[in-house]
Amino acid sequence: MCRCLICETQIKSFMSFGRMPLGNGFLAPENYSKEYFFDMDAAFCEKCKMFQLTQQPDEEQMFHENYAFFSGTSVFMAKHFQEFAEDVIKNYLQSDPFVVELGSNDGIMLKNFADRGIRHLGVEPSNNVAEAARKKGIECITEFFNEDLAEKIVKEKGQADAFLAANVMCHIPYLHSVVKGIATLLKPNGIVMFEDPYLGDVFQKTSYDQIYDEHTFLFSATSIQYLFGVHGLELIDVIHQETHGGSMRYVLSHKGARAVSDGVKNQLDFEKSFKLDQSASYLQFKQNCERSREELVALLKDLKSQGKRVAGYGATSKSTTILNYCGIGPDLIEYISDTTPIKQGKYTPGAHIPVKPYDEFKGNYPDYAVLFAWNHAKEIMAKEQDFLHSGGKWIVFVPKVEVLD
């Protein structure tokens, strides 16, 4: 038993994924002996409806000067954030606006504000990615956001017209401090827009690889409405996104400051009809995960027995959950190809599969490639036509385990 991170109700794990390393903890063999593991268990709170991990590593262990995830590795995501920023600029900024982004990483979103001379601030604790943003002319501070930092920003720079975040709110266990900080930072008529992987998509697609150390929570409109409501902020719109395999953009303002769209009620109704608010659904999800695991392992073992060469495509943090939960190592997957320099030459967390530069894949296609970066399938499949033409086949596991040729 433990206490819900949001409403402090006693909750109990409904599923254990076993011992897990850090999702982005790519490492060299000399560091295997001191590799960090934690028990990754998921729980659901029946009161506030929040899906959460029962424990997670310290934030300094995950986000630091050698953080492995650079947002700019996907062209599709750069376009997505350009459109996101353009929506904010067109619809929500007043005169002499100020925009704050949480988890601004290498500046993929803020670049669009900086290039237009709009006053902005990125809050980004991982200094290597923050440094990449600064090189593009983006202002950012190397800090973890919380209520104290919000007060400091208000004193030094004033309140914000827009508070933005993508794929970071769900990372932060102390969300009450963060949301309190947002309420302090936001102008009376300001707007909050953030997006994260959506619990409904994870359930529909059995995409359990969205569950890893950094993802303390998987949100729904129901749980977000509860959490922000505690701090006087109101959910005024929800906009479903294709990104990261199905995300939700939540739009909020101070309570009563703006009109609430019909979309909010529709989404809350959907979540009820889809039974996202009921414990039984979580047990069903667990069974779906177990079935998916059995099918993937059986397929890989079968291919190995036929002497086929299998590689992975995209050393995602999500793949850490797949590899460790399924017990897949270098015996079943030769290597994983990835375009991120900091990951190359290292080994995947826990499973210790070598991560190789993209040329390794391109220069000598394997028979099969497991698409770990399945959330970028459109972008990847469009540029990897030669792999298929050479007789290569994709293995996907979301929404179900299958071979694509």
**Sole binder of ligand SAH in the list 144, 347, 368, 387 (CB under 6 A):** 144
- Cβ-contact 191, 253 below 8 angstroms: yes
Return the structure tokens found at 94.
Answer: 């007043």
**Sole binder of ligand TYD in the list 40, 172, 380, 401 (CB under 6 A):** 380
Q: Which of 150, 104, 146, 149 is nearest to 127 (CA)?
A: 104
Please identify, using beta-carbon distances, which residue of 250 and 361 lies nearer to ligand SAH.
Answer: 250
Give the bridge partners for 234, in sequence order.
Answer: 253
**Sole binder of ligand TYD in the list 69, 145, 217, 365 (CB under 6 A):** 69
Residue 74's binding partner out of ligand TYD, ligand SAH, none, with CB under 5 to 8 Å set by partner kind: ligand TYD
Residue 317's binding partner out of ligand TYD, ligand SAH, none, with CB under 5 to 8 Å set by partner kind: ligand TYD
The whole-angstrom distance between residue 23's C-alpha and the CA centroid of its chain comes to 11
- Cβ-contact 138, 106 below 8 angstroms: no
Return the structure tokens found at 248.
Answer: 């939700």
Q: In what order do the strands lie in the sheet with 13-20?
A: 13-20, 38-44, 51-53, 217-218
**Sole binder of ligand SAH in the list 69, 203, 313, 361 (CB under 6 A):** 69
Is residue 348 near ligand TYD by the rule CB under 6 A?
no
Distances (CA, A) of 278 to 155, 271, 286: 43, 10, 14
Q: In what order do the strands lie in the sheet with 247-254?
A: 140-141, 119-123, 98-102, 160-166, 186-197, 247-254, 233-241
Residue 93's binding partner out of ligand SAH, ligand TYD, none, with CB under 5 to 8 Å set by partner kind: none
- Cβ-contact 136, 107 below 8 angstroms: yes
Is residue 166 near ligand SAH by the rule CB under 6 A?
yes
Please identify, using beta-carbon distances, which residue of 63 and 198 lies nearer to ligand SAH.
Answer: 63
Is residue 67 near ligand SAH by the rule CB under 6 A?
yes
Q: Specify the amino acid at residue 67.
A: Y
Please identify, using beta-carbon distances, which residue of 97 and 107 lies nearer to ligand TYD.
Answer: 107
The least CB distance from residue 246 to ligand TYD, in Å, is 13
Is residue 35 near ligand TYD by the rule CB under 6 A?
no
Is residue 316 near ligand TYD by the rule CB under 6 A?
yes
Q: Please calculate the CA angle 313-318-321 and round it to the nearest 5 degrees.
A: 110
Q: Specify the amino acid at residue 43.
A: A
Is residue 375 near ligand TYD by the rule CB under 6 A?
yes
Distance in angstroms between the alpha carbons of the first and the last residue of the chain: 46
Is residue 113 near ligand TYD by the rule CB under 6 A?
no
- Binding interface with ligand SAH (CB under 6 A): 59, 63, 67, 69, 71, 102-103, 105, 108, 123-126, 129, 144-145, 166-168, 171-172
Which residues sit at the interface with ligand TYD, rule CB under 6 A? 69, 73-74, 314-318, 338-340, 343, 373, 375-376, 379-380
